[in-house]
């Protein structure tokens, strides 16, 4: 049984589960990943140019296979062999394992972009259904083209276009010109999200209420302040 002291003396290699779960997705075979892990483990232990013969023994492979695996890692861009020079002018080689993390980062960014693209496409479909439901008919090719222009050229989000549609419906203005005017008005006010639209609606409602209160106050009849209870009887 291994002692706690031996276990601690063996050191540890820390790696994100993201890499463990996605190494095949970014293009590594299992053997290549195990070799990369051996090099990364050596790096964490402070040894950036480990003996490949020792790694071959650890992995149960021939040194020739390890060199082939290393060449494959370099060709695929998961490892870089770099040369550094110290203050005395002596050169030393080391393996840089960071490109593997860069490839993982690129993968996650691509996945995030794909999810956003899929969400945006779903939002566009919901928006188009809302137009057809509110207008009570299928949209014409010209109307589809107009909405596409708002999205692709003016860069209005599907959510913002749908909110402009709701604004038009509330004002019983079932036409694209009114919706475009609403969008342009919001753009001038730098309104780009649902929260900003709702804030603008609250502000407008507050202004209208203040105008109504002022108007009602101005229309109130003037009432005499004469106190009839204190009127003196001229015959007294």
* Under 8 Å between Cβ of 130 and 162: yes
* Under 8 Å between Cβ of 14 and 44: yes
Angstrom CA distances, 1 to 11, 12, 13, 58, stand at 17, 19, 21, 20
Domains of the chain: 11-96 (1.10.10.10), 118-213 (1.10.10.630)
Angstrom CA distances, 75 to 28, 40, 69, 223, stand at 12, 17, 10, 94
Claim: this prediction has a pTM higher than 0.85: no
Angstrom CA distances, 196 to 150, 175, 185, 199, 203, stand at 19, 23, 13, 5, 10
Q: What is the pLDDT along the chain (236 residues), one digit of tens a residue?
A: 667 666 666 778 888 999 999 999 999 999 999 999 999 999 998 999 999 999 999 999 999 999 999 999 999 999 999 988 878 878 888 999 999 999 999 999 999 989 988 888 899 999 999 999 999 999 999 999 999 999 999 999 999 999 999 999 999 998 999 999 999 999 999 988 888 888 988 888 888 887 777 777 666 565 555 555 555 555 55
* Under 8 Å between Cβ of 56 and 63: yes
Nearest alpha carbon to residue 17 among 104, 95, 103? 104
């Amino acid at each position: 049984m291994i002692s706690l002291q031996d276990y601690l003396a063996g050191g540890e290699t820390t790696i994100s589960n993201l890499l463990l779960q996605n190494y095949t997705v970014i293009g590594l075979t299992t053997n290549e990943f195990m070799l990369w892990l051996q090099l990364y483990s050596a790096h964490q232990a402070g040894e950036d140019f480990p003996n490949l013969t020792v790694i071959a023994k650890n992995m149960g492979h021939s040194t020739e296979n390890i060199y082939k695996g290393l060449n494959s890692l370099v060709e695929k861009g998961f490892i870089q062999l770099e040369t550094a020079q110290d203050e005395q002018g002596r050169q030393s080689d080391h393996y840089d394992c960071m490109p593997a993390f860069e490839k993982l980062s690129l993968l996650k960014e691509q996945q995030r972009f794909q999810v956003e693209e899929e969400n945006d496409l779903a939002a566009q479909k919901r928006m188009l259904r809302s137009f057809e439901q509110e207008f009570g008919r299928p949209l014409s090719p010209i109307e589809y083209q107009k909405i596409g222009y708002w999205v692709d050229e003016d860069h209005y989000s599907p959510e913002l276009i749908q909110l402009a549609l709701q604004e038009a419906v509330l004002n019983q203005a079932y036409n694209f010109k009114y919706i475009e005017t609403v969008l342009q008005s919001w753009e001038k006010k730098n309104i780009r999200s649902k929260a900003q639209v709702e804030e603008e609606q609250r502000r407008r409602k507050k202004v209208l209420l203040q105008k109504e209160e002022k108007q009602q106050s101005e229309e109130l009849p003037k009432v005499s302040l004469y106190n009839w209870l204190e009127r003196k009887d001229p015959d007294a």
